[in-house]
Amino acid sequence: MPLVTSKEMLIDAQKNGYAVGAFNANNLEYVQAIVEAAEEEEAPVILQASQGAIKYAGLDQIVAMVKVAAEAASVPVVLHLDHGTDFFQNVRCLRAGFTSLMFDGSSLPFEENVAITKKVTEIAHACGIPVEAELGKVPQVGVTPEEVRALMTKPEEALRFVEETQCDSLAVAVGSVHQMKVQEAKLDIERIAKIREITGIPLVLHGASGVTDEGYREGIKAGICKINIATELNKAFTRGMKAAMEKDPSVVDPRKIAGVGREEIKKVIKAKMRLFGASGKARNFVAKGVGYGGRQELSASDLKKE
Ligand code: G3H
Ligand code: ZN
């Protein structure tokens, strides 16, 4: 089916107590692995490209690859911009055909983050495309536990942020850290629940490769509706390619190397979809038909907890 937006997908996840897996793609093999895994699990899926991935693979090439893969699939697929730290990057992705955007103003002072996020939501909503924003900051590896805590999203700021920006989902800093290679981050579940209670909108967990399985389950119960995985996929792709080269050091056909990496990525994604409760949920969309009604039809109050 054609690409869909993340709007209805995250509302369905919120209503039905699961999280949509959002998987970062860097090249063709990632795109194939993500969409094939979603098909096999009958799961809705968000395929996301970071600014780094766009620089590596090319904006139009990514859109073309993902569109073709989504159109051939029977499950709903979203193409999302991950960590767009620039207003113009968001505009370029909107124009190129992304069906979900993120403005990441987490390095900016509160008021600047609000101002630019608001500009992005205004233009994106005019085109029927939802926007994820970030409040607080999910840091990169190498930070101390004290630094992680200091950067966490403040529930008391969240309502004003969401009301002023009209963002459709919110990335929260609640204990996870980007690029962790082991699952040992501890989430502040109470904080997630509080932000969920105050804002009512779907919450997004970044840095989720480092979160424990228990953390996923508790986080989803508290209000997480989208879970971002990048590092674990990179580990899987590299692990598969290394294994293929070690198994037969004379191999020179790259398909025999990258193909094994692609299978490793697929295994990781399928396991995550089951953990997130997303497997089988594609049926919810087929039943009611997918599509985004746009701000004019779907107001902020529709996003509040029922
Ligand atoms: O935006 C992408 C994710 O937050 C990636 O997190 O490094 O833990 O996979 P990760
Ligand atoms: Zn992230």
Q: Does 78 reside within a domain?
A: yes
Minimum-distance ligand 1 atom for the alpha carbon of 234: 9
Distance CA 235, CA 148 (A): 24
- Least-confidence region, from 73-87, 88-102, 255-269, 274-288: 274-288
Candidates 12, 60, 82, 86; catalytic one: 82
Q: Is the pLDDT of residue 90 over 60?
A: yes
Residues with CB under 6 A from ligand 1: 24, 82-83, 178-180, 206-210, 228-232
Q: Does 249 reside within a domain?
A: no
Residue 82 designated active-site: yes
State residue 304's pLDDT score. Answer: 41
State residue 290's pLDDT score. Answer: 52
Distance CA 279, CA 124 (A): 29
pTM of the model: 0.93
The Cα angle at residue 216 between residues 143 and 275, in degrees rounded to 5: 135
For the chain, give the percent of residues with pLDDT over 90.
93
Q: Does 16 reside within a domain?
A: yes
Query: Which CATH number goes with the domain that contains 198?
Result: 3.20.20.70
| DSSP secondary structure letter of residue 137 | -
Q: Is the pLDDT of residue 180 over 90?
A: yes
Minimum-distance ligand 1 atom for the alpha carbon of 211: 8
Distance (angstroms) between ligand 2 centre and the Cα of 257 equals 28
Q: Which residues pair with residue 79 across a beta bridge?
A: 47
Inter-residue contact 228 to 207 (CB < 8 Å): yes
Q: Does 301 reside within a domain?
A: no
Distance (angstroms) between ligand 2 centre and the Cα of 229 equals 8
Burial class (CB in 10 A: 0-12, 13-18, 19+), 213: exposed
DSSP output for 147-182: HHHHTSPPHHHHHHHHHHH--SEEEE-SS--BT-SS
The Cα angle at residue 299 between residues 45 and 115, in degrees rounded to 5: 85
Using DSSP, how many helices (H) and how many strands (E) does the chain show?
Answer: 13, 8
Distance (angstroms) between ligand 2 centre and the Cα of 177 equals 8
State residue 35's pLDDT score. Answer: 98
Q: List the structure tokens of 104.
A: 């990441």
User: Which residue range is the domain that position 205 belongs to?
Assistant: 6-229+277-292
- The residue whose CA has the least distance to atom 6 of ligand 1 is 207
Q: Is the pLDDT of residue 18 over 80?
A: yes
Minimum-distance ligand 1 atom for the alpha carbon of 209: 8
Q: Does 139 reside within a domain?
A: yes
Name the residue among 182, 230, 223 with its Cα closest to residue 206: 230
Q: Is the pLDDT of residue 295 over 70?
A: no
Q: Does 271 reside within a domain?
A: no
State residue 31's pLDDT score. Answer: 98
Which numbered ligand comes closest to the C-alpha of 228?
Answer: 1
> Alpha carbon of 147 to those of 28, 84, 174, 286: distances in Å?
36, 23, 12, 44
Distance CA 138, CA 180 (A): 12
Distance CA 186, CA 278 (A): 22
Name the residue among 3, 13, 4 with its Cα closest to residue 226: 13
Q: Does 180 reside within a domain?
A: yes
Domain count, the chain: 1
Q: Does 83 reside within a domain?
A: yes
State residue 306's pLDDT score. Answer: 33
State residue 26's pLDDT score. Answer: 97
The average confidence (pLDDT) of the chain is: 94
Distance (angstroms) between ligand 2 centre and the Cα of 247 equals 34
